[in-house]
């Protein structure tokens, strides 16, 4: 299952298999009882390798998650939203995922996904994070160190605020999306596998370094991830790093994190290996703030605020020869959001996002040649279960209402609102190890 799960990207949630293992409801670890926003208990659970267990349990920690959604866009998409999908007002099965999510032994655990994607009608592997962690003392300070095997840069981040787990946590797969995103924001999904080490010192400073190796076409085919013709491939090793400082105040009611992260990778554009490589370097910064009204109640109101910035430098020596791009480009992205979880049941969120960079029609594929996009997302989550008074601790569900409004789309401001979208999604998660 571990080998077969290296590859695809997916969205995160509070898995009931974790709740069964720990004896705690989803709301104990996750803001809004669903996720992937984490509270202190959730960050510690991930830091210690998904291995915490408050009660004996011999069954495998397996969970099933199914979700489906309806998408309406401001204007019809002339060529349809995808294969077998209409021009507008589409209902599709988002995905059906099977997870091994939980303890392997007292110091290790795993988050492994296999999923069926309704949009593409394909089945294959998803996000993977297998961890080992150990708690010790160093010079009278508490130190937690560990190792991770995973398949996507930032999937291992314990703060769940970097790209893999960043907001929006779930988005329509059939709505229009801007053409340009930094490499670290999903650009290596289905392409790499990595091993790394991490360290938390004195509950204050967090450091992680992971080295990723590109998976060859034959390997990806063997894993069920069939590369699309013209897909880039990674050359050599791509190092990823993460540094963060965290602090709790007022009996853990307030939490602040300041961090930085980045990756450096060389790629063969289109998989062509005869003209050299492109080299991309991403450097990002993030800040998180969280306020919990009452830390003794898992259903207490929670305010969360997140902001992140990523700058990417692109040296496109190979792409210039193959596709006629600029020799050098740059791309930046910024996003900031704030949410308020009422009683771990209703969670409204508002986000502002913006992407900008150098003009390069051959690189970005936009008619204007510009990657510049900006807009707002308004979202409301309703999660009736996942709390101490829920009738079943092995079942959770969520209703999501989301509106995306663009003020600029691929350099175009006059028609940006044509790409606005309404997204309604219903998700169910249940533990099979009950």
Running DSSP on this structure, what letter comes out for residue 92? E
- The CATH architecture one would assign to domain 3-431 is Beta Barrel (2.40)
The pLDDT of residue 61 is above 60: yes
Q: Please give the C-alpha separations between residue 370 and each of 274, 330, 360, in angstroms, as whole numbers.
A: 29, 11, 6
User: What integer pLDDT is reported at residue 300 of this predicted model?
Assistant: 96
User: What integer pLDDT is reported at residue 8 of this predicted model?
Assistant: 33
* CA–CA distance, 30 with 393 (Å, rounded to integer): 14
Q: What confidence category does residue 223 fall into, taking pLDDT thresholds of 50, 70 and 90?
A: low
230, with CB counted inside 10 A (0-12, 13-18, 19+), is: exposed
Residue spans per domain, the chain: 3-431
Q: What confidence category does residue 226 fall into, taking pLDDT thresholds of 50, 70 and 90?
A: low
For 335-365, the pLDDT digits (tens) are: 999 999 999 999 999 999 999 999 999 999 8
Cβ-contact 237, 212 below 8 angstroms: yes
298 CB-side CA count, 13 A:
18
The pLDDT of residue 5 is above 70: no
User: What integer pLDDT is reported at residue 3 of this predicted model?
Assistant: 33
For 228-252, the pLDDT digits (tens) are: 556 788 999 999 999 999 999 999 9
φ, ψ dihedrals at 204, nearest 5°: -125, -50
Cα 39 → chain centroid: 17
- H helix runs in 223-347, sequence order: 317-323
Average of per-residue pLDDT across 180-190 = 90
Q: Please give the C-alpha separations between residue 70 and each of 88, 350, 366, 378, in angstroms, as whole numbers.
A: 10, 20, 27, 16
**SS percent in the chain: helix, strand, coil, step 5:** 10, 50, 40
* Cβ count within 10 A of residue 106: 12
* CA–CA distance, 45 with 15 (Å, rounded to integer): 13
The pLDDT of residue 274 is above 70: yes
257 contact partners, CB below 8 Å, separation of at least 6: 159, 161, 244, 245, 246, 247, 286, 287, 288, 289
Q: What confidence category does residue 153 fall into, taking pLDDT thresholds of 50, 70 and 90?
A: very high
Cβ-contact 3, 40 below 8 angstroms: no
For 394-405, the pLDDT digits (tens) are: 889 999 999 999
Cα 358 → chain centroid: 26
User: What integer pLDDT is reported at residue 38 of this predicted model?
Assistant: 94
Choose the weakest-confidence range: 32-46, 74-88, 287-301, 392-406.
74-88
Cβ-contact 339, 161 below 8 angstroms: no
* CA–CA distance, 3 with 398 (Å, rounded to integer): 30
Residue linked to tokens 């219903």: 426
Average of per-residue pLDDT across 269-286 = 94
User: What integer pLDDT is reported at residue 254 of this predicted model?
Assistant: 98
- Strands 205-214 and 233-235 come out as unpaired
The pLDDT of residue 267 is above 90: yes
* CA–CA distance, 134 with 108 (Å, rounded to integer): 9
Choose the weakest-confidence range: 145-149, 206-210, 361-365, 402-406.
361-365
């Amino acid at each position: 299952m571990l080998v077969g799960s290296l590859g695809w990207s997916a969205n995160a949630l509070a898995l009931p298999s974790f709740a069964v293992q720990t004896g705690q409801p989803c709301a104990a670890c996750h803001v809004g009882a669903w996720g992937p926003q984490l509270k202190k208990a959730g960050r510690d659970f991930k830091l210690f390798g998904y291995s915490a267990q408050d009660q004996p349990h011999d069954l495998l920690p397996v969970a099933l998650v199914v979700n489906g959604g309806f998408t309406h866009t401001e204007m019809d998409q002339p060529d349809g939203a995808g294969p077998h999908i209409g021009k507008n007002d589409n209902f599709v099965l988002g995905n059906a995922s099977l997870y091994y999510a939980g303890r392997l032994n007292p110091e290790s655990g795993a988050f492994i996904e296999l999923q069926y994607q309704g949009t593409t009608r394909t089945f294959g592997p998803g996000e993977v994070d297998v961890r080992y962690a150990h708690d010790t003392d160093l010079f009278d300070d508490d130190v937690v160190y560990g190792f991770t095997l995973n398949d996507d840069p930032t999937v291992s981040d314990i703060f769940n605020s970097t790209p893999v787990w960043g907001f929006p946590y779930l988005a329509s797969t059939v709505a229009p999306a801007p053409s340009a995103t930094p490499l670290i924001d999903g650009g290596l999904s289905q392409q790499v596998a990595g091993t790394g080490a991490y360290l938390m010192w004195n509950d204050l400073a967090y450091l992680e370094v992971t080295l990723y190796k590109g998976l060859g076409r034959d390997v990806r085919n063997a894993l069920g991830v069939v590369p699309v013709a013209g897909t880039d491939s990674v050359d050599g090793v791509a190092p990823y790093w993460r540094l963060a400082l965290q602090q709790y105040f007022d009996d853990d009611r307030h939490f602040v994190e300041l961090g930085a992260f980045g990756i450096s990778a060389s790629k063969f554009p289109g998989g062509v290996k005869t003209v050299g490589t492109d080299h991309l370097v991403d450097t990002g910064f993030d800040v998180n703030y969280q306020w919990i009204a009452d830390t003794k109640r898992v259903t207490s109101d929670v305010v969360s605020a997140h902001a992140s910035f990523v700058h990417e430098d692109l040296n496109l020596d190979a792409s210039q020869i193959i596709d006629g791009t600029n020799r050098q480009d740059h791309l930046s992205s910024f996003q900031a959001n704030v949410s308020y979880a009422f009683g771990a049941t209703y969670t409204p969120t508002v986000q502002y996002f913006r992407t900008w960079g150098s003009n390069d029609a051959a690189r970005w594929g936009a008619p204007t040649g510009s990657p510049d996009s900006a807009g707002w997302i308004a979202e409301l989550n309703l999660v009736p279960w996942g709390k101490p008074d829920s009738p079943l601790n092995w079942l959770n569900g969520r209703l999501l209402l989301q509106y995306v409004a663009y003020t600029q789309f691929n350099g175009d401001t006059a028609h940006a609102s044509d790409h606005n979208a309404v997204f309604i999604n219903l998700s169910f998660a249940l533990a099979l190890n009950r």
